[in-house]
Amino acid sequence: MKKTTPGRALENLFYLQYDLPPEASFHATTEETKRPDELYLRKLLPELTRLKLQPCHVVANDEAYYAAMKGISLFTPEAEKLMHRADYYSARRQIRLCAPDLKRRNEAKRPPKPALKFY
């Protein structure tokens, strides 16, 4: 969600979750982690294919934003229940058209910091 520009159309990205067995071993350099799409395609996908693993959860970008707006973590039982909310489909459609500013939304929810008192 870091690449998304608030107010613009949302990119068609997906978040994947895998249950990895102990024999799965992935190593990435710091430079590689800066390009997660390329890292997935060049390093992770061949290893996942070799182990015959498929994602246990796939979440669309707009679904991830909707969950974040509701304060719910991805890949949890609460996230799976989101699709039963009345505004689920209309909110996701709106999110796809115009990405919300989650940073500003999260700052607004934080309680104010106590004022410092000097004696």
Q: Give the tens place of pLDDT for each residue, 26-77.
A: 777 888 778 877 888 888 888 889 889 888 888 999 999 999 999 999 889 9
**C-alpha–C-alpha distance, residues 39 and 114, integer Å:** 43
**C-alpha–C-alpha distance, residues 4 and 101, integer Å:** 9
Query: Strands, E, within 4-43: which ranges?
Result: 14-17
pLDDT in tens, 78-98: 998 999 999 999 999 999 999
**C-alpha–C-alpha distance, residues 38 and 31, integer Å:** 11
